[in-house]
Structure 1
Amino acid sequence: MHTDTERCVRAVRSKDARFDGWFFTAVLTTRIYCRPSCPVVPPKPENMTFHPSAAACQQAGFRACKRCRPDTSPGSPEWNRRADLTARAVRLIADGVVDREGVPGLADRLGYSTRQVERQLLAELGAGPLALARAQRAQTARLLVETTALPMADIAFAAGFSSIRTFNDTVREVYALSPSELRTRVPKSRAAGTTRSTVTGTTPGTTTGTTPGTVTTPGALSLRLPFRTPLNPDNLFGHLAATAVPGVEEWRDGAYRRTLRLPYGHGIVALTPHPDHIVCRLTLSDLRDLTVAISRCRRLLDLDADPAAIDDQLRTDPLLAPLVDKAPGRRVPRTVDEAEFAVRAVLGQQVSTAAARTHAARLVAAHGDPVDDPEGGLTHLFPSATALASVDPETLAMPRTRRTTFTTLVSHLADGSLNLGVECDWAETRAGLLALPGFGPWTADVIAMRALGDPDAFLPTDLGIRRAAGELGLPSTPAALTARAAAWRPWRAYAVQYLWATDSHPINFLPV
C-alpha cells in the first residue's frame, strides 16, 4: 500500500487507525516517522514519504514519533494472509529466529539462499532481515525499559542485544532518547500502551550466582496488545475456554490463561479482552522469550487481522451479511504451538469436545513438564512431540486406527519430517497431512486454519457448518457449499467463525 501515495495521504489526513501497521509516514522536515492515525497536525503532502515497515523508516534515518509510538502499532495483516517467501520470513523474524540462529538460520528454514531472502525482503519491506530483527529488539527494549524496574544491562541482553553499547546506541538512534531518558519520561502509573510492573531477575552477563544463559523472573510483566477494531471476543475466547485442556489452559477471573513452551524456557500468560486492547500478563522463566511470547499471543488471538477488509468481503454475500452486521470483527482462534494443536485435533477425531479434553488431559498429566502457577490452576506444559513419540500406544484409550494416526503424527513431528512451523508452505503441509493415515480433509483443514494460520481454510464437511448453512438458506452439501464459498475468498476461515456462531454449541463433534 505504501506505493499508493494518494491513498496514503488520504489515510493520514483522516487519521484512519485502520491503516496503522499497513504503512508508516516519514516526515522529511522533522526526520520523524509516524503511524497514519498520529494525533499531530498532518504535514504537507510534499513533506511525506511512505514506508512499508518501521525498520525501513529507521534504516532511512527517521526516528519514531513520541506521540503515536508507531513501533507499537498492530502488525501488518499482509504477512498473515500470505504464504510466500516474504510473509514466511516476516513470521519467522517475529518468532525470534534471526536473534537465535542468525540470517543463515532464517534462510535455511525457508529453503532459500541468504542472498535471495535479503533481496526479497529489501524489495517488499525496504529493510533486510537484520534491520527487521533490530527494529524488533528496539521495541522489546523499549517495552522492558518502560514497564519494568530491571537494570538496563539486564534489559539489553533480554531484548537480544549482544552488548550494552549496541543496546544504548540502537535506542538512541531509534527513539532519540537514551534508555534512562525513556524510563524517566514514563508515568509511574502507566506507560502509553502498557501497565508498569516490577520484574526482578538476572540475564546473561550478570554476576548474581545464577547459571549463565538463564533469566529468573518471579514477577509478572503486564502490557497491552493493540488490534484493529472491531474485535468480537465471544467466539474467540469462548472457543479457547470451551476446548481448554486442564492443567495447560483455564478460564479464570475473566482471563484466558495457559502455559507456554518457549525457546529459552517456559511461561504463563493471562489474556483479558477489553474494548480497544487485550491485557497480556506474562510470567517468563527467561526474559529473552518476551518477544516470542508476545508474537505467539498475538497469533493465538489473530490480532493482526484486518476486520474491515474481511467483513466487507463477506458482506457481499446477502445471506452471510446479516451475521456479519450482527457481530462484526470475529477472529479465528489459533494456537501458540502448531504441533500441540495437530495432536489435539487427532485426539478429538469423532468424539465430543469433553472427551477430547479428557484424552489431552491424560497425556498432559503423564508426559507434560510440570510448572508452578501461584496465581491459578495451571500445572503442566503440553508434552513435546519428542515426549509423545515415546508413548506406549496401548495406554491410549482410543480405537486402534486412531492410535495409529496419533503415533504416526507424533513420530513425523519428532523427527522433523513434518513441519508445522510459521515458515511452512500451507499447500505443501496440507498435502503432507493428507498423506498420513487417518487424516481426512476436515482434520487437515482445521489444522491449516488454526495452526498454520491459513485465512482461506474451509470446512465444508463440518456438521456445524452444514447445519448453519442450511438454516441460512446456503447450500448444505459440501460440493455446493464450496462453490458458493468461492465468493468469500480469501477469507473463508472467517466465514467459518460466523457460521459456527449461529449454533449455541458450535463445537460438539469433531469429524475426521
Structure 2
Amino acid sequence: MLGFLRARAIEGLETVSGDCYSRSISLDGMHGWFSVRPGDSDALALTLHFPDPQAQAQIVARIRRLLDLDTNLAPIHRHLSADPLMARLIASRPGLRVPGAWDGFELAVRAVLGQQITVTAAIRLAGKLVAQYGQPLSCMGAPAGLSHVFPEPGRMAGADLANLGMPRSRGRTLSGVAQALLDDPQLFAPKASLEHSLSALRALWGVGDWTAHYVALRQFREADAFPAADVGLLNALAALEGGPVSASQLLARAEAWRPWRGYAAQHLWTTL
C-alpha cells in the first residue's frame, strides 16, 4: 500500500516520508491534513488536524476506505487461491489490499490524466493541476511538502486545462467530469451494482471502459471491477506465465476470479 501511494503522491498534496503517508484534505470548505504510519502490533497510527471535531468520524471512515481497512481478506484469498497463479501471488503478499481514494472526483481526474501515459507522467501533470487550480492549504502545522488542497470542480469546469501540457481532448474530458459533478453532486456516491457504477462513468464524455473500471474499483469499491485492456495487467500475466496475452484471453482467464477480480488485478499490478 505504501509503495503504491509513494509512486502516485502528487506534489503539494501528498508526501510519503519513510513509513508515513501524509496528505492535505478539504471538506465542506475547510482544510486540514492527516498522517498515517504503522503503530503498535498490526495497528496504524493516525494524526489528524481538522478544524471541525464533528467531522472526525467521517474523515476516519474515508481514510479507512482509502486504505481498504474494512475488507475481510480471508474469503477473497480462499476463492482466488483456487487458481495456482493467484495462490502463489497471495502467498508472497498475504496482506495486499486494493487502495481506495480520498475523493471520487480526485480519483476520476487522476484516472483521466493517466490515460495512455505512464504513472510518472500522469503524476507530474497532476502536480501542475494542483499548483495552478488548487487552493493553498490554510491549516497550520502541516508536514513539509503539503501546500495545496485538490482543486474544486468549480475551478476546473470552465478552464482550458490543455494549457497544462495535455491533449486538448483530455482537458475537455477533465472539464466535463468537473461539470458533471456540479450538475450531479451524487455522481461519485456508491451505486447499486457494478453495472450501475460503470454506466454512470461511461456516460461521461471521454471516459472509456478502462477509466470506468478503474474508478469503480477504487472509488465505488466494486471488488469485481476489472480493466481487462490494461497494459499493466496484460504485461504482468504475460511475464508470469510466459507468452503474449490478449485482452480477451485475460478476460476469459479472469472469469474464475469473480467476484473478486479487482483483488486479482491488484496482485497482478504489484508484480510489475
TM-score, normalized by length of structure 2? 0.92
Q: Is the 8 A contact 1:266 1:286 kept in 2?
A: no
Deviation of 1:248 (Å) = 0.7
After superposition, the Cα gap between the structure-2 partners of 1:345 and 1:237, relative to the gap in structure 1 and judged at 3 Å, is same
Deviation of 1:465 (Å) = 0.9
Tell me the distance in 2 between the aligned counterparts of 1:245 and 1:419: 24
1:321 aligns with 2:87: yes
Pick 1 or 2: higher relative contact order, CA cutoff 8 A, min separation 6: 2
After superposition, the Cα gap between the structure-2 partners of 1:338 and 1:394, relative to the gap in structure 1 and judged at 3 Å, is closer
Deviation of 1:472 (Å) = 2.6
2:54 alignment partner in structure 1 = 288
Residue 25 of structure 2, aligned match among 239, 251, 260: 260
Q: Is the 8 A contact 2:25 2:32 kept in 1?
A: yes
1:369 alignment partner in structure 2 = 135
Tell me the distance in 2 between the aligned counterparts of 1:427 and 1:489: 14
Q: Is the 8 A contact 1:263 1:289 kept in 2?
A: no
Tell me the distance in 1 between the aligned counterparts of 2:245 and 2:186: 33
Secondary structure of 2:219 counterpart: helix
Moved beyond 3 Å, runs of 4+: 422-426
Cα displacement string for residues 15-71 of structure 1 (whole angstroms, at most 9, x for unaligned residues): xxxxxxxxxxxxxxxxxxxxxxxxxxxxxxxxxxxxxxxxxxxxxxxxxxxxxxxxx
Residue 216 of structure 2, aligned match among 448, 463, 470: 448
Tell me the distance in 1 between the aligned counterparts of 2:180 and 2:132: 21
1:465 aligns with 2:233: yes
Unaligned runs of 5+ in 1: 1-235, 504-512
Tell me the distance in 2 between the aligned counterparts of 1:414 and 1:328: 40
Tell me the distance in 1 between the aligned counterparts of 2:124 and 2:184: 27
Tell me the distance in 1 between the aligned counterparts of 2:35 and 2:59: 12
Cα displacement string for residues 307-358 of structure 1 (whole angstroms, at most 9, x for unaligned residues): 1111111110012211111221210011110111101111121222222122
2:190 alignment partner in structure 1 = 422
1:86 alignment partner in structure 2 = none
1:433 alignment partner in structure 2 = 201
Identity %: 39
Residue 42 of structure 2, aligned match among 276, 282, 294: 276
1:281-430 pair list within 5 angstroms: 281-371=47-137, 372=139, 374=141, 375-416=143-184, 419-422=187-190, 425-430=193-198
1:498 aligns with 2:267: yes
After superposition, the Cα gap between the structure-2 partners of 1:286 and 1:401, relative to the gap in structure 1 and judged at 3 Å, is same
After superposition, the Cα gap between the structure-2 partners of 1:417 and 1:307, relative to the gap in structure 1 and judged at 3 Å, is closer
Tell me the distance in 2 between the aligned counterparts of 1:388 and 1:483: 39
Tell me the distance in 1 between the aligned counterparts of 2:268 and 2:18: 28
Q: Is the 8 A contact 1:261 1:381 kept in 2?
A: yes
1:482 aligns with 2:228: no
After superposition, the Cα gap between the structure-2 partners of 1:433 and 1:329, relative to the gap in structure 1 and judged at 3 Å, is same
Cα displacement string for residues 278-307 of structure 1 (whole angstroms, at most 9, x for unaligned residues): 111101121111001100000000000111
What letter corresponds to residue 265 of structure 2 in structure 1? V
Deviation of 1:424 (Å) = 6.2
Tell me the distance in 1 between the aligned counterparts of 2:71 and 2:222: 12
Deviation of 1:250 (Å) = 0.5
1:230-245 pair list within 5 angstroms: 236-245=1-10
After superposition, the Cα gap between the structure-2 partners of 1:264 and 1:286, relative to the gap in structure 1 and judged at 3 Å, is farther
CA RMSD for the aligned pairs? 1.9
Secondary structure of 1:296 counterpart: helix
Tell me the distance in 2 between the aligned counterparts of 1:320 and 1:496: 10
Unaligned runs of 5+ in 2: none
Secondary structure of 2:45 counterpart: strand
TM-score, normalized by length of structure 1? 0.50
What letter corresponds to residue 381 of structure 1 in structure 2? V
